[in-house]
Structure 1
């Protein structure tokens, strides 16, 4: 369970409990779906914002990532 600030977000407790133990099932280890150039740009902008807020971090080329998270881009009035 995680009970600590995420990045620069303070005063909000977040509880995360993983229901699976290592080794994680293949359904949690899937390759990325292809994204259109417009969506790819929007994803990169949002990821950069999350990185700047210290919510996400870049991983090293030799670092193992066993669980991935889907990304959904929703457009409203031409903005993601």
Structure 2
């Protein structure tokens, strides 16, 4: 079937790429489906443009955001407490006699020993420095 109507071309692209039974095929597979049933002068270019502009395919197939940096080897510490990791656990239900709602977690990289320090979500840097 030879197509020249833009409306019919768009309908065919929709059916061969977006249809629930098509499953958002790649450009090559969409071309394979179209070439068995229709032709128009710019059909290959139209398929590429259509697939590249498919919102669902862009979200599912393309990496978004900033690329990760190169992986490097991190030197392991040779003694305990030489390197520590710290993170906050927040939005906990209030607990203890002072109603703590957060926890500062400190982990020694060498021994994997954790320390859990209860605190409040609105503690300042000075409050955190004075925890013990």
TM-score by length of 1: 0.27
TM-score by length of 2: 0.18
More helix by share: 2
Answer with 1 or 2: which has the greater Rg: 2
Which structure has more relative contact order (CA 8 Å, sep 6+)? It is 1
